[in-house]
Amino acid sequence: MTAAASDLLALAKPRITALVVFTTASGLCLAPRGLPAVTVAMTLLGTVLIVAAANVLNMYLERDSDALMPRTMNRPLPAGRLEPSLALKLGLVLTAISVPLLTFAVGSLPGLLASIALVSYVLLYTPMKRHTAASLLVGALPGAIPPLIGWTAATERLDLPGVLLFAVMFLWQVPHFLAITLFRKEEYARAGLQVQPNEPGGERAARMNIVRYTVALVAVSLLFVPIGVAHAVYLATALCAGLAFLGYGLLGLRGGAGPRWARNLFLFSLIYLPLVFGVLMIDRTR
């Protein structure tokens, strides 16, 4: 029973879910007015459930391709430890709970945004991965919505700070995921998933896109200061972390930069995002 529970939990991709909940909390924290504790709790719980639903349904749909990649073949579905029908039912149940919870306990706008994220991730991004590398940009849309859910839960409207949170998340995902595709491109090819490094001339284009999107990411991340949301501590942190991220990304344009560089860039991205969002929450304007 313990093993089965562990496998069910693995379907929800807990590490990814935890990062998403953190970004949702940033939207809640950055909002200009305080919230009742019950609203905060319902927002975070609803986010956990809807992200879990998206991940479970994604694993259900990708169980065949997961079986072809070493890093995913031991997941519960491709390894045969759980029945696919159970994962489908779990994903649908989580959806049936999370969407009404966010809509009626938090607000119609957060509920709508969560629904858009779920549908675009499961029904658009997941099948597109087999057909076009442009699926990365489609997948970045639902990945960028969680902080906007937090912001709208607190404010009940779309405002510039919330949109900037969305933009930072969207732009960050491109170099983050391109780095993964660069050091795992053979695995993606084996699984029949389309990624830019496997297209003709795509590896160079992917490295250029890492630089382009990181430049945009750094520029957008600094805009919280002139609009009065954050102060000097955040400015210094976002500037230093962003330039370091960009500088390491530029190293990828050298001929000798290989899988080790891409893997390190991926790890750097995992440090960059929590650092910038964390300092933003600490240095926010009240």
Q: How many independent structural domains does the chain possess?
A: 2
Evaluate whether 193 touches 47 at the Cβ level (below 8 Å): no
Judgement on whether residues 26 and 150 belong to the same structural domain of the protein: yes
Residue 207: which pLDDT band, with cuts at 50, 70 and 90?
very high
Entry pTM: 0.93
Is residue 1 a part of any domain in this protein?
Answer: yes
Q: Where among 123, 157, 191 does a domain terminate?
A: 157
Range of the domain at 47: 1-132+146-157
Judgement on whether residues 205 and 125 belong to the same structural domain of the protein: no
Judgement on whether residues 180 and 152 belong to the same structural domain of the protein: no
Is residue 139 a part of any domain in this protein?
Answer: no
Judgement on whether residues 192 and 98 belong to the same structural domain of the protein: no
- Tell me the mean pLDDT in the region 252-257: 86
Is residue 15 a part of any domain in this protein?
Answer: yes
- Tell me the mean pLDDT in the region 226-235: 93
Judgement on whether residues 109 and 187 belong to the same structural domain of the protein: no
Of all residues in the chain, what percent carry a pLDDT higher than 70? 98
Judgement on whether residues 14 and 81 belong to the same structural domain of the protein: yes
Is residue 260 a part of any domain in this protein?
Answer: yes
Residue 81: both structure tokens together:
């430890």
Residue 223: both structure tokens together:
């805009």
- Note the pLDDT tens digit of each residue in 7-59: 888 999 999 899 999 999 999 988 876 778 898 999 999 999 999 999 999 99
pLDDT for the residue 257: 85
Angle between helices 160-183 and 259-282 (to 10 degrees): 160
Judgement on whether residues 21 and 128 belong to the same structural domain of the protein: yes
Judgement on whether residues 125 and 28 belong to the same structural domain of the protein: yes
Is residue 137 a part of any domain in this protein?
Answer: no
Judgement on whether residues 232 and 277 belong to the same structural domain of the protein: yes
Residue 268: which pLDDT band, with cuts at 50, 70 and 90?
very high
Judgement on whether residues 168 and 182 belong to the same structural domain of the protein: yes
